A and B are shown apart, each in its own frame.
Chain A
Amino acid sequence: MADNAHGSQPVVRFETHPSRYQHLKLSFDGAIARLSLDVVEDKPLRPGYILKQNSYDLGVDIELADAIERLRFEHPEVRAVVVSSNQPKIFCAGANIYMLGSSTHAFKVNFCKFTNETRLSLEEACAESGQHYIAALNGVAAGGGYELALACEHIVLCDDGSSAVSFPETPLLAVLPGTGGLTRLVDKRKVRRDLADVFSTLAEGVRGKRAKEWRLVDEVAPKSKFDETVLARAQAFVSSTPERKGPGVTLPALEARRWEQDGRCGADYRYVAVSVDAEQRLAQVTALGPEGAPPKTAEELRRLGADAWHLRFARELDDVLVDLRFNQPEVGLVVLKTAGDGAAVRAWDEALLTLAKDDWFAKEIVLKLKRTLKRLDLMAKSLFSFAEPGSCFAGTLLELALASDRTYAKSGETQAFIALSSMSFGPLPMPNGLTRLETRFLGEPGKAEALREERDFIDAETALEKGLVTFAPDDIDWDDEVRIAIEERASLSPDALTGMEANLRFAGPETMESKIFARLSAWQNWIFQRPNAVGERGALTMYGRPERPEFDWRRT
C-alpha cells in the first residue's frame, strides 16, 4: 500500500527474508535449527531508541515471525529449534522500553498483538508442525525475553549465578508483561499463583534451581554443561518426532503492486486487492477465488508450491491485515468482498483437506489459513462482508463473512449465493477453539453440526433465514443499505466499537489464546494508558530518568 502513515509512525513492511535479517541468525544442522538473537543496537525500526541488550522492537519481531513461518514451509526436515542469544550474559531484555515509551498508544497495542500472534505461531509449530522450540537461556531473560521463552516448549536456564528469568514490568515500569506472560505462567506452565505473584513483582527475577522448583523453567544446567544439555534435549525432540519428507517449499516475495490515486491508495496482489479511502476511513479488501481444477495429489500440490491458491491467498491476506493495522490506523471499517467461482473454492477446499491428512505441506497450508483468519478475528476494526452476485463466499472464503461483525447478502432477481465446505466444520477454529459456525450458533446447540447437510449453494434469502448472514437487502435497496451501513458505522466512537466488537466476537469458552488477547485488551491496554504508567510522573515515562515515579494510589 502507498505510504499513508499517520502521525509519527513510518510505514512498516512485513515481508522479509533471512538474507535481509539484521537481528536474527538462522542456521541449520540437520534436523536442528538455531535461531540466535543478536539484535543490532543501532538498527531500530525507526530512529529514537537503541536496541540494547537484545531488546526487540517490531523490526526484530517481523524477522522472528518470518523465521518461524519459513522454518515450517521451507525446512520440513527441522524438528527442533534452539532459540538462544549471541550476546554475552543476556538472552533477551524484552520489548525495548524507550521504543514503547515513545510510541503512540495504537502502535503499542498493535505491536503487542503482533508479538502475541508470533508467539502463538511458535507454539502452534510445536504442537502441530513437529517443530519443537527450545529456549536456551544463556543469560538474563527479562520481560518479553522470558515471554518468548514461555512460548517455547522447553526452557533450559543456565545456572551460572547471573542468568535469570524475570518479569520486571510491574515493579519497574508499572505495566504488565504484554505478550501473554502472566497467562502462560499460570495456564501453560501451571506455576502456582502465589509464586507467580512473587515472581511478577521481583524485578531481578529468579535464578537457578529455584526457577526450576517454581516451574518457571524446565531444566537448569551449569555453564560448562549448558550447550550439551540443550543439544541433548534438541536431539531427544528430534528422535521422538516423525520425519517430514522434504524438500521444503520456498516462500517467494508477494510483490504487491502498490498504487495511489485521487486521495485513495491500495495494493493489488494476485488473489487479494485492497483499496483505502482515507476520507471515508474505509478499506475494501477483495479476495479472488481459485481458477481451474485443484491439485489431486501431494505431488501436484508440491509443484504449485507457494502458488497454490490457499497458500498464496492466505499470505496475501495476512500481509494486508497487518498493513491495515499498522499503516492505516484511521481506517475503522474493513469491507470484505469476494469474486470468483464458489464451486471452485469448494473443490479446492475438499482437495486440500484430503491431502492434509497425509501430506505435511497441505497441512501447513491449512494451519496458515487458520492463523490468518484468527488475525482477521483480532482486527481492531469493524468488519463488514458484502456478498453480491458474482461473489464466492464459499468454504474458506465464507470464513471471511463468518468472521465479520455483519454480513450483507444481496437478494432479489440477481442474488448472491454462499456455500459451506469441510473448511467450515473444524480445520479453521477461532481463538476460542470453536469454529466460526459454532460460535455463531452458540444459542442453538447442534445447529452448526446440522449444517453439514447443506451441500448446495444457499441463496441470500435462505442464508438470512438460516442465520448465516445479517441482512439480505434486495437489489432495489442494496446501494442505499450499504451506503447507510458504512456511514453509520463510521460515525461511532472507534474506542467503543473496538471494545464492543471484541466482546461480541469471542463468545463461548476461553482458551489460553483467547485469554491472552482478552486480557491484553482489557488490562494491558488500559494500564498502558494510565497516568501511573505513561503520565508525566508515570513509571514508564520516568524509566531511565533521574527521578522516581509518582503514583495515584486509588485502586480502580
Chain B
Amino acid sequence: MSTVVTSEKIPNNVDLSSDKKLQRALEAWQPKFVDWWKQMGPEGFQEDDVYLRTAVSVDSDGWAHYDYVKMPDYRWGIFLADPIPDRKIGFGDFMGQDAWQSVPGEFRNILRRLVVTQGDTEPASVEQQRLLGAICPSLYDLRNLYQVNVEEGRHLWAMVYLLQSHFGRDGREEAEALLERRSGNPDKPRILGAFNEPCKHWLSFFSFTYFTDRDGKYQLLALAESGFDPLARTTRFMLTEEAHHMFVGETGIQRIVERTVELMKKNKNEDARAEGGIDLPTIQRFINFWYSVSLDLFGGEISSNAANYFASSLKGRAKEEKYEDHVALTQVMNIDVPIVEAGAFKGMKSEEVPLRNAMNEVLREEYVADSQRGLDKWNRVIEKAGFSFRFKLPHKRFHRASGIYAGLTFDPEGRPISREEWEAKKDEWVPSPADDAYVLSLMQKPIYDPNQMANWIAAPPRGIKGQPVNYAYVRHEA
C-alpha cells in the first residue's frame, strides 16, 4: 500500500520529498500551472466553493475524499497506481523482459511524444469547457463539470510528472509548452483535432465526455500496458478518474433524452422543440459529430507508428491479457481501403494489413463497441416512452478528417456519396450553426438555484456522495 504525504505542497505517492531536484522542478512548474488555470480554467467561478472529490491516495477510500474547495486551491497531486511486483512486459518485441523503470534511450523520443500527445489533451479539454459555467443547467451539473475539469488538470500533472522525472531538459520544455498551447487558437493549437473543436454548450459537453473522454479511456488502457512502468502505473490510476468523466457524459445525455421524451409526450405533435427541449434528431447530430471527431483521435488505420509503438513494447492493446498472441507478428487484419484514382473515389477493396500496423484500428474497434452501450441505454428510454426513434452510431467512415477515409464523403451508413450530396445533406447529419444557436438559446439563463433544474434536462436520480440532488454543490452568488 502506498503512503501519501498530504501536508506537502504537492500530494503524491511517489516519494517526491526524497528527490529534491524533481521536487524543485515540479514546485517551479506549479505556479505556472495555477496561472494557466486562472487564465484558461473555468471562467467566473474561481472564487466559489465547489464540492469536489480530491485524490489523496490511490487506495479505494483514499481517493474519494469530498469537501468544498476553491478550484485554484485544489490539491493537484501525483499518484501512480501501486507497483506490481516483478512486473514483466506483456507484449511486443520485449515481451517477457522486466518492465522498464527508466526510459530506454532508444525510445526516449517516441515515448516523450506519446506522453506529450496524451498530456496535451488534458488542459485542452479544460480550455474547451471554460465558458460552460455561465449557461449551466443546475448546480449538480456545474459541480460535475468542475470535477471533470480539476481531474483533467490532475491528468496534466500526471503527464508533467513523467516529463519532468524521465525526459530531462526536453521534458521540462515540453511541460512548459503544455501550458502555452491553447485550444482552438490557430497560432498555437492543441495537438489533436477534436481538442480544438469548440465546446459551446452542454449538449456538446456531454457528448464530449461521452465520446471524446472515451477515446481517452482507450488510449490510457493501451498505455497502461506499456513496458515503461511509470507510464503504465500513471495511466492505470488516471483510468479510475476517466470513468467518472464518461459517467457524466452518459448520464447527461440520458437525462436530456428522458426530458425530451417527457416533452414529446406533452406536445400533441410530439415536438420537443416546441416545448423548449432538445429534439432527438438534434441529439443524433451531436452524436454523429463528436463520435466521428473522436474516431479520428485513434490515428491512421494503417500506421507504421502504431506498429512501431507495439513492436517497441511502448503501447499495447486495451486489456492485453485477453488476447492470446502478444507478439502479433503473424496475424493480419482486413481493412476496407478506399480506391482513389485521380482524386476520384472508385470503390473499396479489402486489404490484409499486418496486425501491428493495424493497432490503431484494433483499439478503434473496441471503442466502437464500447460507445454503442450508451446508445442502447438511451434507446431504452425512448422505447419505454413509446417512441420509435432510435439513436445510431454512424459508420466509421462517416465525417472523418484523418486516416484513409479523410477527404472522401460518406453518408452515416458508410455509403460513398458525392461531395454535392454531402453538401446538400450535411445539415441533416452533423450540427449546423442553427442547431448550435438553438441549443444555446435554451441555456441562456443559467440555473444557480439548487432547487431548480433547466427545462431541457431531467434531474438526476440521486446526488453526490449521499447528498441530495438539491444540495448546494457550488456556492455561487448569482
Interface residues of A (CB under 8 A from B): 40-43, 159-162, 171, 202-204, 222-225, 543-548
CB distance from A164 to the nearest CB of B (A): 11
Q: CB-CB < 8 A to B329: which residues of A?
A: 546-547
List 14 A–B pairs whose Cβ atoms lie within 8 Å, in order of A's numbering. A40-B343, A42-B342, A160-B188, A160-B189, A162-B191, A202-B109, A204-B113, A222-B187, A544-B307, A545-B354, A546-B328, A546-B354, A547-B329, A548-B308
Which residues of B are at the interface with A, using a C-beta cutoff of 8 A?
A: 93, 109-110, 113, 177, 181, 186-189, 191, 304, 307-308, 310-312, 328-329, 340-343, 354-357
For the complex, give the distance between the alpha carbons of A305 and B366 in Å: 67
CB of B311 within 8 A of CB of A160, answer no
User: Are A43 and B304 in contact, CB atoms less than 8 angstroms apart?
Assistant: no
**Chain B, Cβ-Cβ closest to A226:** B187
Residue with the highest number of chain A CB atoms closer than 10 Å, among B191, B307, B354: B307
Contacts of B110 in A (CB 8 A): 203
Going nearest first, the 7 A-B pairs with the smallest beta carbon separation are A546-B356, A222-B187, A546-B354, A544-B304, A548-B311, A223-B186, A546-B307
Contact of B342 among A43, A159, A204 (CB under 8 A): A43
Nearest residue (CB) in B for A543 is B304
- Report whether A40 and B356 are in contact in the complex, using a CB–CB cutoff of 8 Å: no
Q: Is there an interface contact between B312 and A203, defined as CB atoms closer than 8 Å?
A: no
Contact A161 B188 (CB under 8 A): yes
How far, in whole Å, are A203 and B304 apart by their CA atoms in the complex? Answer: 14
* Additional A-B contacts beyond A40-B343, A159-B187, A224-B186 (5; CB < 8 A): A42-B343, A160-B187, A160-B188, A547-B93, A548-B311
**Neighbour of A548 across the interface among B93, B113, B181, B355, CB < 8 A:** B93
**How many residue-residue contacts, CB under 8 A, span A and B?**
59
Residues of A close to B113: CB separation below 8 A: 204
B355: chain A residues at CB < 8 Å are 546
Q: Which residue of B lies closest to A203 (CB)?
A: B109
Chain A residues within an 8 Å CB radius of B341: 42
Q: Name the B residues within 8 Å of A160 (CB-CB).
A: 186-189
Give min CB distance, B112 to chain A, whole Å. Answer: 9
When C-beta atoms are compared, the residue in chain B nearest to A201 turns out to be B109
List the B side residues contacting A40 at CB < 8 Å: 342-343
Residues of B within 8 Å of A43, CB to CB, are: 342
CA–CA, A548 and B113, complex, Å: 19
Name the one of B109, B307, B343 contacting A545, with C-beta atoms under 8 angstroms.
B307
Chain A residue nearest to B341 (CB atoms) is A42
Taking the closest CB of chain B, its distance from the CB of A541, in whole angstroms, is: 13
Q: How far is the CA of A394 from the CA of B18 in the complex (A)?
A: 83
Chain B residues within 8 Å of A162, by CB: 189, 191
Q: Looking across the interface, which residue of chain B has its beta carbon closest to that of A546?
A: B356
Tell me which residues across on chain B come within 8 A of A225, comparing CB atoms: 187
- Chain A residues near B188 (CB-CB < 8 A): 159-161, 222
Q: Considering residues B188, B312, B357, which has the most beta carbons from chain A within 10 angstroms of its beta carbon?
A: B188
Residues from chain B with Cβ under 8 Å of A543 in the complex: 304
Instruction: Report the Cα distance A42→B307, complex, angstroms.
Output: 24
Partner of B181, one of A161, A171, A547: A161
Closest to A544 in B: B304
Name the residue among B93, B342, B355 with the largest chain A CB count within 10 angstroms: B342
Q: In the complex, A32 Cα to B354 Cα: how many Å?
A: 47
**How far in angstroms is the closest Cβ of chain B from A99?**
15
> Are B109 and A544 in touch, CB under 8 angstroms?
no
Q: How far is the CB of B264 from chain A (nearest CB, A)?
A: 42
**Nearest CB of chain A from residue B148's CB, rounded to whole Å:** 24
Q: Is the CB of B342 within 8 A of A223?
A: no
Q: How far is the CB of A24 from chain B (nearest CB, A)?
A: 16
Q: How distant is A547 from chain B, measured CB to nearest CB, in Å?
A: 6
Decide: A41 and B340 in contact? CB cutoff 8 A.
yes
A481 to B219, CA, bound (A): 75
Min CB gap A159→B, angstroms: 7
- Tell me the nearest residue of chain B to A22, going by C-beta: B342
Cβ-neighbour of A224 out of B109, B187, B340, B356 (below 8 A): B187
Known contacts A202-B109, A204-B109: A547-B311 contact under CB 8 Å: yes
- Give the shortest distance, in Å, between B433 (CB) and chain A (any CB): 23
Q: Are A161 and B342 in contact (CB under 8 A)?
A: no
Q: For residue A398, give the distance in angstroms from its CB to the closest CB of chain B.
A: 49
A198 to B265, CA, bound (A): 67
Chain A residue nearest to B302 in the complex (CB): A544
Q: For the complex, what is the distance from the CA of A88 to the CA of B347, rounded to whole Å?
A: 25
Residues of A within 8 A of B328 (CB): 546
A160 CA to B184 CA, complexed, in Å:
11
Which A residue sits closest to B356, measured CB to CB?
A546
B177 to chain A, nearest CB (A): 8
Complex partner residue of A544 from B189, B310, B357, CB under 8 angstroms: B357
Q: Which residues of the partner chain B approach A41 to less than 8 Å between Cβ atoms?
A: 340
Chain B residues near A204: list those with CB within 8 A.
Answer: 109, 113
Report Cα–Cα, A441/B189, bound state, in Å.
61
Report the minimal beta-carbon distance from B303 to chain A, rounded to whole angstroms. Answer: 9
Give the Cβ gap from A52 to chain B, nearest Cβ, in Å.
10
Give the Cβ gap from B103 to chain A, nearest Cβ, in Å: 15
Shortest distance from the beta carbon of A110 to any chain B beta carbon, whole Å: 27
How many Å lie between the Cα of A159 and that of B186 in the bound state? 10
Q: A161 contacts which chain B residues (CB < 8 A)?
A: 177, 181, 188-189, 191
Complex Cα gap A547–B189 (Å): 33
* Residue of A42, A161, A162, A204 ringed by the most chain B CB atoms within 10 A: A161
The smallest beta-carbon distance between A447 and chain B, in angstroms, is 55
Chain B nearest CB from A350 CB (Å) reads 52
Minimum Cβ distance to chain B for residue A55 (Å)? 13
Could you tell me the distance in whole angstroms from the C-beta of B255 to the nearest C-beta in chain A? Answer: 37
Give A161 to B184 CA distance when docked, in angstroms: 12
A536 to chain B, nearest CB (A): 15
Q: In the complex, what's the smallest C-beta–C-beta distance from A59 to chain B, in angstroms?
A: 14
Q: In the docked arrangement, what's the CA distance between A42 and B407, Å?
A: 14
CA distance A204 to B107 in the complex (A): 12
| Bound-state Cα–Cα, A28 to B109, Å | 42
Which residues of chain A have C-beta atoms less than 8 A from B93's C-beta? 547-548
Q: Give Cα A369–Cα B101 distance, bound, in whole angstroms.
A: 62
Docked CA distance A219–B213 (Å): 38
Chain A's nearest CB lies how many Å from the CB of B108? 10
List chain B residues, Cβ under 8 A from A545: 304, 307, 354, 357
CB-CB under 8 A from B307, the residues of chain A are: 544-546
Contact check: which of A42, A222, A546 meets B311 at CB < 8 Å? A546
CB-CB < 8 A to B189: which residues of A? 160-162
List of B residues within 8 angstroms of A203 by Cβ: 109-110
Give, as a whole number of angstroms, the nearest-CB distance from B117 to chain A: 11
Distance from B110 Cβ to chain A, minimum over Cβ atoms (Å): 8
The answer to whether B357 touches A42 (Cβ under 8 A) is no
CB distance from B383 to the nearest CB of A (A): 43
A546→B357 contact, CB < 8 A: yes
The chain A residue sitting closest to B188, CB to CB, is A161
The residue of chain B having its C-beta at the shortest distance from the C-beta of A222 within the complex is B187
A514 to chain B, nearest CB (A): 34
Can you name the residue of chain A whose Cβ is closest to the Cβ of B113?
A: A204
- Report Cα–Cα, A203/B312, bound state, in Å: 16
Q: Which residue of the partner chain B has the closest CB to A97?
A: B304
Known: A40-B343, A43-B342, A204-B109. A548 touches B312 (CB 8 A): yes
Residues from chain A with Cβ under 8 Å of B181 in the complex: 161
Give, as a whole number of angstroms, the nearest-CB distance from B210 to chain A. Answer: 27
Min CB distance A49 to B, Å, is 14
A545 to B342, CA, bound (A): 27
Alpha-carbon gap, A254 to B113, bound state (A): 51
* Complex alpha-carbon distance, A410 and B396, angstroms: 76
Query: In the complex, which residues of chain B have a beta carbon less than 8 angstroms from the beta carbon of A544?
Result: 304, 307, 357
